[in-house]
A and B are shown apart, each in its own frame.
Chain A
Amino acid sequence: METTLAESSKWEQFHLAFDLFRDPLLCALIAGGVLGFLSVYVVLRRMVFVSAAVAQSAGLGVALAFYAAIHLGVHVEPVLGATALALLATLLLMTEPAKLRLTRESLLGLAYALAGGAAVLVGDRIAQEAHDIQGILFGTAVLVTPEQLYTVAIAGAAVMFIHLWWYRGITFASFDRTGALVQGLPVRLLDGVLMVSIGVMVGVCARALGALPVFAFSTLSAIAALMLELRLPWTFFVATLFGAIAGVGGYLFAFFYDFPVGGSQTVFAAAMVAAATVLRMLVHARQKAR
């Protein structure tokens, strides 16, 4: 009974303060959806750790923006710092590592470790913003400013527009690079569009939601969708849906059960994978039974 009262009380709180929660929910919906769409490329192109390294770099970008404001008196928008560092990491990871006699994994390790370590060092010098830094890295931020929401919405709309428009070209260039090159497609441009999309979305979303849930949306959504063994266009659609559900569902779960938002969204995204796996097993069992 007590639980029911507590729950109804929470619902009431949620309803009364919906104006406060609307922006973060919308932000989670858009970020989860767009990152979910991009996650299909991230997973199928074996770039899962690219996403991790870029998200980590976005965290460093925010920390550097705070540092610049506090110690150097230079005002840099944290979202700009996040996006700039995320793009820088993306460009670094786009370079051909063989030229440096390195594997791509080595570059990823370098980018991830450097960004993570530097974020800790910079965070140590901006103790007054430690909470914000923690929020960025792990997604503990409950609220989202209107500017952050607009940034995520505009970036998300631009990314989705170009990706739906160029869908045929980007998929061909992504999954059969040589074939696309020989058939005269501008593969470097298409690759660039994809990588910049990932860099920008990870950057702006990491500032608003935190690096951890951004990493989860940009990987787990596609893993869950791929479990369902659908056609490629449907995989993109379902991954978008799963990402959006994880974003919104995770936020609500965090609110109703008093958990950190980023962790809840991450666990929610992982739960999607578990649910999709169970569904797949059931479908296979049914097919066998026939």
Chain B
Amino acid sequence: MKTADPTGGPHTVPASFVPGDALLTCEKLVIGYDGKAILPPIDLTIRRGQFVAVVGRNGSGKSTWFRTLLGMQPPVSGTITRASAQVRSAYVPQTSAIDGLLPLRADELTAWGRLRGWSFLWPFARKTDRQAVHSALETAGALPFASRPYRELSEGQKQRTLLARLVATEADLVLLDEPTAAMDAVAERETMQRLCTLSRERGLGVVVVCHDLEVAAEHADVLVFVDRETSAFVVGDARTVFCHPAFRRQYGDEYCQRAPLGPHRGNDAR
């Protein structure tokens, strides 16, 4: 399987890729609002180098799970456990989430990735931070437009800037909320390939909310289908998910018929 290397060249993903250590584990995690569950209890482990794509219709509970994982919403019950206190998380918003009015250059936005905890108490960027930002921009292919205002960039360039910020965080676990929204098909595929490669090369655990089922199936090791209506939280490879009755009820049989047999790349996340 060929994917694009973040620096632009082709990169071969090992077919026998095996995800590494656990980064984050959801145990009997019940999510919802005001103490009311909206999905069945979730048991899921996200590992190093694993690419998890979350799919489901609008209002299905994807965002609620995502917000709970991010620590922005308390769970109804159950636990979310990080493998260790050293596990770093990063969040990549949609390109449109960064205000178009904000007069920020791509490299300045990337530099935010170096802030963690109380590190802002040191008022100036350290030399190591500046080097890390430069290196991250290079890795994400964002160096040519690093000094341009973020708002003037194309959707693909904005996404590369956000990926540079992600690289700059040196995070272990990355959560992305519809990173390819508002992108054309080519930019979307390119972004997913970059993410995939970053995940493999740097051992990142990646969880991405995605609306394009085919792109999700093509790149993810594990698919998660969320459906509040049928109270379903299905975890598995593309075939397992696409052929699940709850999925077929929402999307029909077409995806099941076309889904590849067996796990696409990685192992079951459970």
Contacts and interface: CB of A to CB of B under 8 A. Distances in A.
Contacts of A168: 112, 115, 120, 123, 125
A175 B99 contact: yes
Contact of B102 (A165, A182, A232): A232
A183 B90 contact: yes
B169 A183 contact: yes
A186 interface: yes
Interface stretch (A28-36, A150-158, A223-231, A245-253): A223-231
Interface string B39-82: 00000000000000000000000000000001110000000000
Interface in A219-240: 226, 229-232, 235
B115 A182 contact: no
B103 interface: yes
A166 B149 CA distance: 23
Contacts of B1: none
Interface in A23-78: 43-44
B71 to A, nearest CB: 7
Contacts of B90: 179, 182-183
A235 B71 contact: no
B34 to A, nearest CB: 10
Contacts of B252: none
Given A176-B98, A231-B105, A231-B108, A182 B121 contact: no
Nearest to A189: B118
Interface residues on A, range: 20 to 34
Contacts of B169: 183
Nearest to B109: A176
A9 to B, nearest CB: 45
B145 interface: no
B104 interface: yes
Interface residues of B, number: 32
A229 B103 contact: yes
A184 B120 CA distance: 11
Nearest to A190: B120
A179 B103 contact: no
A231 B116 CA distance: 23
A175 B103 CA distance: 11
Contacts of A185: 115-118, 120
List the 10 closest A-B pairs by CB distance, nearest first.
A169-B120, A182-B91, A184-B117, A168-B120, A172-B112, A179-B91, A183-B116, A182-B89, A232-B103, A232-B104
6 contacts: A44-B101, A172-B112, A179-B91, A185-B116, A231-B103, A231-B108
Interface of B: 70-72, 88-93, 97-99, 101-105, 108, 112-113, 115-118, 120-121, 123, 125, 149, 165, 169, 175
Given A176-B97, A181-B71, A230-B103, 19 more contacts: A168-B112, A168-B125, A169-B121, A170-B120, A175-B102, A178-B93, A179-B90, A179-B93, A179-B165, A180-B115, A181-B91, A182-B90, A183-B88, A183-B90, A184-B117, A231-B104, A231-B105, A232-B103, A232-B108
